[in-house]
Amino acid sequence: MSTDRAFVDYVLEQLSSQDMRAKPMFGEYGLYCKDTIIGLICDNTLFIKPTDEGVAFAGRIGRGEPYPGAKPQLKISKARLADTAWLEQLVDITTAALPAPKPKKPKAPKKS
């Protein structure tokens, strides 16, 4: 099962105060905050990368694999997804704990 675009829009709406975007990846979506990938949206479920700080904040929360063979991530329930203040704080904590993305190398000019 793949993710409905309506669910992706709902997640982005819940995080509208953040600098968020969802980018299609392998039939599902990567969730970015300030150009840092912080999670995935797979099978209409939000998964957030686990960081020590994020896990401490989230408390008892389920984990799951967004796809077979993936590292377990924090699996955000529908109730927690509806709690905008909690979700925004988790995203802030997670984003701050993750390393900044590496700068992209400039593309080489095309040869004619």
- 107 within domain boundaries: no
- 76 within domain boundaries: yes
- 105 within domain boundaries: no
Of 51, 46, 14, nearest in space to 29 by CA = 46
- pLDDT of 110: 80
pLDDT, tens digit (0-9, with 9 covering 90-100), for 19-73: 999 999 988 999 999 889 999 999 999 999 999 999 999 999 999 999 999 999 9
pTM (two decimals)? 0.88
- 86 within domain boundaries: yes
* CATH code: domain of residue 67: 3.30.1460
For the chain, percent of residues with pLDDT exceeding 90: 77
66, 29, 11, 62: CA torsion to nearest 10: 10
CA distance 53 to 57: 6
Structural domains in the chain (count): 1
User: What's the domain range around 77?
Assistant: 5-97
CA distance 6 to 74: 21
- 112 within domain boundaries: no
